[in-house]
Structure 1
Amino acid sequence: MFTLVELTVEDVLPIRQRVLWPQKPMSFSEVKGDASARHYGVMKQESLICVGSFYQEGTTVRLRKFATLPAYQGQGAGRFMLESIMPLLRQSGATHFWCDARESAKAFYQKFGLTPEGDRFYKSDIPYYKMVTRLS
């Protein structure tokens, strides 16, 4: 049903902007470190429906700009990506995984063993939590 593909930052930017920050310009969805990050997408048939970018520093990997097109949310694309990526991260030597999760997605990340670390914080008036897990 789904296929995981490796992408370029140019491939992921349109979905990032459309899903996460539709009221902002495309440049708002760019992240420092995009050039060295690994970018992945989930394809359903011939359509790119979900994107995520992974930034590794030593044995720690951070997920940023994880987004699924609204028409496909709740159908398992995000779950498929994380289930596919977690073993790859372990194989790469990563031992820690984290992300800043929108409060509305906190329960989703908890299903993958991530737990909140610290207090709720805000980005552009949207509440977030830092979510972390060990990969080993």
Structure 2
Amino acid sequence: MEIKPISWQETLPLRHKVLWPNDPPSFSKVEGDEDALHYGAFLEGEIVCVASIHFSSEPNHAHEKTARLRKFATSHAHQGQGIGSAMLKRILADMKQEGVSTFWCDARETAMGLYHRFGMQAEGERFYKGDIPYFRMSKQVGRA
């Protein structure tokens, strides 16, 4: 398996297929994709997992860089094989090198176990996007 940077456009087909198959493909693009960092995991040349990282500064702490994981999707045929874990491991290592202080995401409740294994903790109450339950989860990565 190879994990490497990709363009935001390359993330869209898998995002759409896995996360929102009942919505139009345009629903899979999010504001800020053009400025985000995107990763793809490839098996034998096929893209099987995608993830996007959106950066910002903490309000009141401009020197603290935060990274938000968005639109993390693994093809249905490749789930449960450790590909998502390998992707998260790579992203967290890169974020530490980038001087990111806080790494966070809105995690689907069904995926919380994966994030817990990487030291991420749930914050606040359950919330919903449509009929899908989520929790905000985060982890302190390091200090710049």
User: Secondary structure of 1:75's partner?
Assistant: coil
- State the distance in 2 between where 1:57 and 1:113 align: 21
User: Secondary structure of 2:105's partner?
Assistant: strand
- State the distance in 2 between where 1:79 and 1:3 align: 13
- State the distance in 1 between where 2:6 and 2:45 align: 14
Aligned residues: 135
Shift of 1:37: 0.2
Bigger Rg over Cα:
2
Q: Give the alignment's TM-score, normalised by structure 1.
A: 0.97
- Deviation by residue 1:14-66 (Cα, 9 ceiling, x = unmatched): 00010000000011111110000000010112111000000011310000000
Aligned to 2:26: 27
Shift of 1:7: 0.6
The root-mean-square deviation of aligned C-alpha atoms, in Å, is 0.7
- Deviation by residue 1:81-128 (Cα, 9 ceiling, x = unmatched): 111111111111101000000000011100001000000000011000
Which amino acid in the other structure matches residue 40 of structure 2? G
User: Secondary structure of 1:32's partner?
Assistant: coil
1:80 aligns with 2:79: no
User: Secondary structure of 2:113's partner?
Assistant: helix
Identity of aligned residues (%): 46
Q: Which residues in structure 2 correspond to 1:71-110 (within 5 Å)?
A: 71-110=77-116
- State the distance in 2 between where 1:50 and 1:69 align: 6
Q: Give the alignment's TM-score, normalised by structure 2.
A: 0.92
Segments of 5+ residues of structure 2 without an aligned counterpart are 58-64
Aligned to 1:14: 13
- State the distance in 1 between where 2:27 and 2:46 align: 24
- State the distance in 2 between where 1:99 and 1:85 align: 13
